[in-house]
């Protein structure tokens, strides 16, 4: 089986570390990539093809939100699993995530919230 890649995009180092740990505790062979902004994530995506899972924060520094990034990523990653992990629980955010075809998880990050989306 080929190694899977996950990209964790969040401006919080602590959140990225928590998501990394949850993934690696359950899938120790996965390669974990990280970015602190949507703009950084776009650079990572150009350098690493075939990403199998995206974890995206909504509110980050820079010009793009997590949902803006998700819309851009969907063009190249039509069937790739994406999860918006955010403290922003407004219905408009949830509805936009659903319309893009990505899952919504409310912070704080826990293994119980994340694991179901990794499979």
Which domains can be identified in the chain, with CATH numbers? Answer: 5-117 (3.40.50.2300)
Nearest to 86 by CA among 66, 100, 72, 102: 66
DSSP letter, residue 115: G
What whole-number percentage of the chain has pLDDT above 70? 98
Backbone angles phi, psi at 77, to 5 degrees: -120, 65
CA distances to 6, 11, 32, 65, 115 from 28, rounded to whole Å, are 12, 24, 10, 29, 13
Q: Are 101 and 54 in contact (CB under 8 A)?
A: no
Cα angle 119, 97, 52; round to 5: 30
pLDDT, tens digit, 9 for 90 and up, residues 75-97: 999 999 999 999 999 999 999 99
* Burial (CB count <10 Å: 0-12, 13-18, 19+), residue 1: exposed
State the pLDDT confidence band at 2, using cuts at 50, 70 and 90.
low
Cα angle 51, 57, 59; round to 5: 140
Its pTM stands at: 0.96
């Amino acid at each position: 089986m080929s190694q899977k890649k996950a990209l964790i995009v969040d401006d919080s180092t602590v959140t990225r570390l928590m998501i990394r740990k949850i993934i690696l505790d359950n899938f120790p062979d996965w390669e974990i990539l990280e970015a602190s902004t949507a703009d950084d994530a776009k650079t990572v995506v150009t350098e690493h093809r075939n990403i199998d899972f995206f974890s995206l924060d909504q509110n980050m520094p820079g010009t793009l939100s997590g949902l803006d990034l998700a819309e851009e990523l969907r063009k190249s990653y039509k069937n790739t699993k994406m999860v918006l992990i955010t403290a922003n629980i407004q219905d408009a955010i949830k509805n936009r995530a659903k319309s893009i075809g990505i899952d919504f998880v409310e912070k704080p990050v826990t293994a119980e919230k994340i694991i179901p989306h990794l499979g």
